[in-house]
Structure formats: C-alpha cells, structure tokens
Chains A and B, each alone.
Chain A
Amino acid sequence: MANKSGNAYALTVLFPILTGLPKEAPDGMNDQTPAALVRLQLQRLAVNELSPMARVPNTYLSRLWVLDDVPYQGRPAGLEHLKSNYLVFSSNFHGELDDYLRGMWSVIELDIRAILKYCVGFDRVTDVTTFIDYVKRCQVETTFFFNGSSDEPLAVQLKSLYLKQELAKFAAANQGKSAADLQAAFKEFVARVQPANLERPTWKAGAYHLDRAVLE
C-alpha cells in the first residue's frame, strides 16, 4: 500500500463541499458559498504551536486547502471543470490510520465540526466511529509516497531535536574546561536534559520560537 512508508503514513482526503448557499453562515457572510466559508474557517485557525493540529498526536506535517477547480492547460488540451469544490486534507503522521483519526477526534472535535460542517455527508457524523468511516469514504489512495525524513514517533523526533540543540549548546559552552570540570558539567547536563525521558524536557510540537520552544 503506497499510503505507508515504514511507520510513516501519507493520508490524502478530499471532502466534497456542499453546493448552493449555506443553511447558516457567520454575520455578513450569507451570500458566500460553503467553499468560501470553509476557507474562512481555515484562515481563522491559529498557527504553529497554537494550531489545532499541534494537539493531534503524532502529526509530522499537515495541510488543508480548498480545491475550487482543476487547472486548465490551454489549447489544445480539453477544458473541463469540477462539479463540486473539495476540502483537501493531507497529513504525514506516525502510525496507523484508525489510531490517528481516533486521536484527532478526541482532541479537536470542535475544530473538526467547525470546518467540516460545510461538507457533504458530515451531518451523519455523530461520534468517533462515524468520523473514521467518513474520512475513509473521502480518502484517496496515495500512488507514491516518498519519505525523506524519519518515521519515528513524534515524541522521539521532538526529544531528539531538543537533545541536538542542547548538546550543541553544551559543547560550545564547555570548551577548554579541565577533564574533571567537564565531567561534572556533563553530569549536570544529563540530569537536566534527561535523554531517556520522552515526556520532558522536550520541544513542544509546532513551536517556532526558541524563547518558548521547550516543554520543561
């Protein structure tokens, strides 16, 4: 199955968006299409460590965008149009699909509902089981997945990045010390960074500022 490369999974989903005018819309948006309202919801999402996706376990990288139509290549290619707009969700994550979707529903159900309420068939999603079934009905198979990174659990990746950063700082700060002082400093370093502890200290998922990247 091309959706997987080792333990990394490439999820590609096309949620068809409702056509016509929406039944309910934010103030001042009554004349907008459901696709425009999906895009509005996506624009409102916080980014980096505040993104809802930062709370979804084992997400490496993910994206959401609205497909309005297929691109036209110019003559002599044929001109054709989509009948529906689609919300495209793509995620690269560690692990199995069902576990991932279960984790997603458990932590960002409200965000999911706010975005997918404009999509065809989402009104029949009532719980985690129907959500997983809904996503699978909208999933398209990946033809070829290239993994240029690693496929370890996200917690391992984040801890490794934290250790890389801290060891680089330690090496720079302790140059020229005597052997005894260096050894003592290293013991303090190990006690502080706890290399085998994946929980903390580590980097926060999605953090983009050194001044608050570390989960102490």
Chain B
Amino acid sequence: MSNIAGKAYAMNAITPMRWYTAWLNRFFFWGSGRFTSFLGGLLTLSLIHYARWVIIKPNQFPRLSPDQPEEQLKYHYMFFFSNFNGSWDQYVDSFSSAISGGLDKFWIFNIKYPKSIPMLPFHRYITANQIWTDHYYNAYPMASSNDVKSARRVRDALLAFIPDVERATPQEFQDKYNRLLIGLQHDLSQMDANPVVSLAASAVERRLRREQGLSVRSS
C-alpha cells in the first residue's frame, strides 16, 4: 500500500453533502470549467499533475446485478483525487495558505467542513476523510509536474534549434547555442529519484531497490 510513486503523492478523500446543496457544488464546478476566475488560484499551484472531483448521487453507485444489494444512502458523496508533488503536509498547507478562498468554495457545502483556515481543523478533516491507495502508478516518477511542462519547452526549442544551426559557422553556432541555453535557463535541470519526504517512503525505496538487485544509497 502506498500513496507515493516517486515524486507524486496520490490523495483520495471522500466527503458527504446534502442532496439540496450538491447541485450548488455542481454548478460551481461547471463554472470552474468555463471561467478560470472560479478556480480561485488553483492554477497557481504548479505542484499538481492532475486532480479531479467526482460528485456521486446515491443511485449512481454502480449496481450490476439484482443480487447486489442496493445502496440506501441519504447523502451525495464528493470523491477527490489528486496527484501532486511533495509531501502531504506541503500540499495541504499550500492549499490552505495559497488558495484558501478557492478551496472553501470547492468544499463549503460538504458536511462539517471546517474551512481551510485555521489549519489544524482542516488537517483533521482531510485526515479523517482520506483513504489510502493500494496501488499507485506514475509514468515519470523522477519528474515533477513542472519538469513535465518544462521538458516540453526544451524539446520544442531543441527541435527548432537543430535545423537553424545546420549550416552555421562555429562562431554562429556558439552564439545561437548560448541564446538557446539562456532561453531555457528556467527549464533545464537534472532529475533524479525523490528526496526523502518521510522515513517510511525512504525505507520502502531502499527495500524495493534491494529486491531489484540495485545499489542502495545511504540517503
């Protein structure tokens, strides 16, 4: 069981809401899909790969057979899935600190939501409603979300640069090469395995490397 796959953390949270407020939440998400001002700063949190909210009515839990008991729920449930970089604390605190207003709009209709400030009740709320992931897969565990975005810029720049210097003299090449690096200075960096964010994650990593016959680094 692991919520961690390299630099990504998988958060799952389920929270209930009353049927007569669920439509307001849906309306807010509908607006968020069309007007970025509804997002309340979510776009500024560049540590997120992908996140989603899924509001499920009681009769939307899949029932595939008459033998399967029918759910008899009163509340609608909001499922939240996030893939982000860094530790749980860094993520929850950056939400709380950077976009508390936007966060409150997303959860305000959920039962007993304590608001994102002060932090301690908010931490308690997320912890109580979080469910651990049994298997988590990440296609690029050594890369952060910012690495993925900057890598695209590096590739685009490189593909444009190569034909541009094909017939360049050495001096022309060097001038253009220097300009290429200056243009990419915010995007070029070397990636590696995740720095230690918890002793448990570090122990898991060391065990997996041992099992795969790889060298185990002291960090």
Interfacial residues, chain A to chain B (CB-CB below 8 A): 2, 8, 10, 12, 14-16, 19, 39, 42-43, 45, 47-48, 50-51, 53-54, 59-67, 70-71, 73-74, 77-78, 80, 82-84, 86, 88, 90, 92, 120-121, 137-138, 140-150, 152, 154, 156-161, 163-165, 167-169, 171-172, 178-180, 182-183, 186, 190, 195-196, 203, 205-213
B50: Cβ under 8 A from any A Cβ: yes
13 CB-based A-B contacts, threshold 8 Å: A2-B33, A8-B50, A16-B68, A43-B135, A67-B14, A71-B129, A82-B71, A90-B52, A164-B191, A167-B158, A167-B188, A168-B189, A205-B140
Contact A206 B158 (CB under 8 A): no
- B137 and chain A: residue at smallest CB distance: A53
Contact A78 B74 (CB under 8 A): yes
A-B CB pair tally, cutoff 8 Å: 290
Contact A150 B149 (CB under 8 A): yes
Contact A47 B152 (CB under 8 A): no
Interfacial residues, chain B to chain A (CB-CB below 8 A): 1-2, 5-6, 8, 10, 12, 14-16, 25-26, 29-30, 32-33, 39, 42-43, 45-56, 60-65, 67-75, 77-79, 81, 83, 111-112, 128-129, 131-143, 145, 147-152, 154-155, 158-159, 162, 165, 168, 170-171, 173-174, 177, 181, 184, 187-193, 208-209, 212, 214-215
Contact A65 B152 (CB under 8 A): no
B192 to chain A, nearest CB (A): 6
- B187 and chain A: residue at smallest CB distance: A164
**Complex interface: chain B residues within 8 A of A138 (CB):** 62, 64
**Complex interface: chain B residues within 8 A of A167 (CB):** 154, 158, 184, 188
Contact B49 A145 (CB under 8 A): no
B105 to chain A, nearest CB (A): 11
A99 to chain B, nearest CB (A): 17
Contact B16 A70 (CB under 8 A): yes
